[in-house]
Chains A and B, each alone.
Chain A
Amino acid sequence: MAGEDELKLLGTWASPWVSRVKLALHLKGLSYEYVEQDLDNKSDLLLTSNPVHKKVPVLIHNGKPICESVVILEYIDEAYGTTGPSLLPTDPYERAIARFWVDYIDQKLVIPWKVAFTADGEEEKTEGIKQMLAVVQTLEGALKECSKGKPFFGGDSVGYVDIALGGLLAFLQGTEELCGTKPFDIANTPLLLAWVERFTALDAAKVALPDVTKLVEFAKTKRAQMALSIKK
């Protein structure tokens, strides 16, 4: 790493999108300054660094901001191409496959999860759970294809898809308590279950992912607050 290289990450401890970036930085062996943000009282730095979305994560590299978790992941991989392992495959077709699955995770997993988490009625919740489990089943197939018998979506080592899904792990581990269903089980998603064990054992995961118990409490509190504010 060049001297004078300055990395600053604006984030919130609970955000899975921020966790993704932390994972990538750790996997690459990069030092950075982490700055916890208060999203109810956004800092000037956040607002000037991400004027379009005003969201976290934002990675500031030598004063220049990069926004959106997947954009940041690709940036880290390219800006630090010779540092640490590669996060994306080198082959263009495999890169396209990896990008496809990351896009799938972002487009298809999060929304039903949120529905299952916040739904008022049983019917809505059941539908959210059903859709979430269908997506998880597809991801089981994706893991089988991408890993080709190896430990990760990225093969022998952690890759882009692993990080994209891994960032969500604390939420996935809290899903039974928060949504009323286990996302993974030995009958339907044995590969993903094994992947979860493997991923959470990584040093990067231990540093980057929030404590599940703390996260579950926080999510429940937020949900209650939202429900109250809607009733008003």
Chain B
Amino acid sequence: MAGGDDLKLLGAWPSPFVTRVKLALALKGLSYEDVEEDLYKKSELLLKSNPVHKKIPVLIHNGAPVCESMIIVQYIDEVFAGTGPSLLPADPYERAVARFWVPYVDDKLVAPWRQWLRGKTEEEKSEGKKQAFAAVEVLEGALRECSKGGGFFGGDSVGLVDVALGGVLSWMKVTEVLSGDKIFDAAKTPLLAAWVERFSGLDAAMAALPDVGRLLEFAKAREAAAAAGSLSDSRD
């Protein structure tokens, strides 16, 4: 790491988007100050650093804020290009393929999954679940194509798509416990099931991913509070 690099991450430990940034920082072997935000009482620093969205994660690098999880991950990869592994390949076409799958994860898996987990009606939840499962099947095919026999979407090493999907892994496990459904089923999506094991075993994953037990308690408490009507709206 270059001398004089000050990295501060404004985040919240349950957030999968924050987890993505932590993964990238861990993969690159970068030290940073981990600032836990109270999303019901956002700090001046957060509001000043992300005035447009007022959301976490925000990475503040030598005082300059970068917002949006995958923009931050690409920024880390570019600024610290000489440090640790590259998260994007050198070839423009392969980069385009990686950049294609990242928003797919967000729009087609994460968004429906959230609806499944936190939807207001049974109908909404069931539709979210259906769409999330459909996306998992597509991602199995994506992994087959992108990995080219290596263990990751990035091929032999972890790439952007691995980080995008890896960030939500603890939440996927929590959802499996709460719903009783297997999201990455070895029988239906063998490559992804193996990928989950492989990714979870990485040092970076062990450092960055929130503890599943702790997250499960958090999810249950939030569900209970929502049911009791004591939360006026969700906080992200």
Residues of chain A at the chain B interface (Cβ within 8 Å): 52, 61, 64, 66-68, 70-72, 74-75, 78-79, 92-93, 95-96, 99-100, 103-104, 138
B-side interface size class: 20 to 34
A70-B99, A99-B71 known, 14 other contacts, Cβ within 8 Å: A52-B100, A61-B93, A66-B93, A71-B99, A74-B99, A75-B92, A75-B96, A78-B92, A79-B93, A92-B75, A95-B74, A95-B78, A100-B52, A138-B52
Complex contact B96–A92 (CB within 8 A): no
Bound Cα distance A75, B93 (Å):
7
Instruction: Give the interface SS of chain A, mostly helix, strand, loop or mixed.
Output: helix
Bound Cα distance A104, B51 (Å):
13
Residues of chain B at the chain A interface (Cβ within 8 Å): 52, 61, 64, 66-68, 71-72, 74-75, 78-79, 92-93, 95-96, 99-100, 103-104, 138
Q: How far is the CB of A232 from chain B (nearest CB, A)?
A: 23
Complex contact A96–B74 (CB within 8 A): yes
Contacts of B79 in A (CB 8 A): 92-93
In the complex, 24 of the A-B residue pairs with CB atoms within 8 angstroms, ordered by the A residue number, are A52-B104, A61-B93, A64-B93, A66-B93, A66-B96, A68-B103, A71-B96, A72-B96, A74-B96, A75-B92, A75-B95, A78-B92, A92-B79, A93-B75, A95-B74, A95-B75, A96-B66, A96-B72, A96-B74, A99-B68, A99-B71, A100-B52, A100-B67, A100-B68
Instruction: Give the interface SS of chain B, mostly helix, strand, loop or mixed.
Output: helix
Nearest residue in B to A90 (C-beta to C-beta)? B78
Contacts of B138 in A (CB 8 A): 52
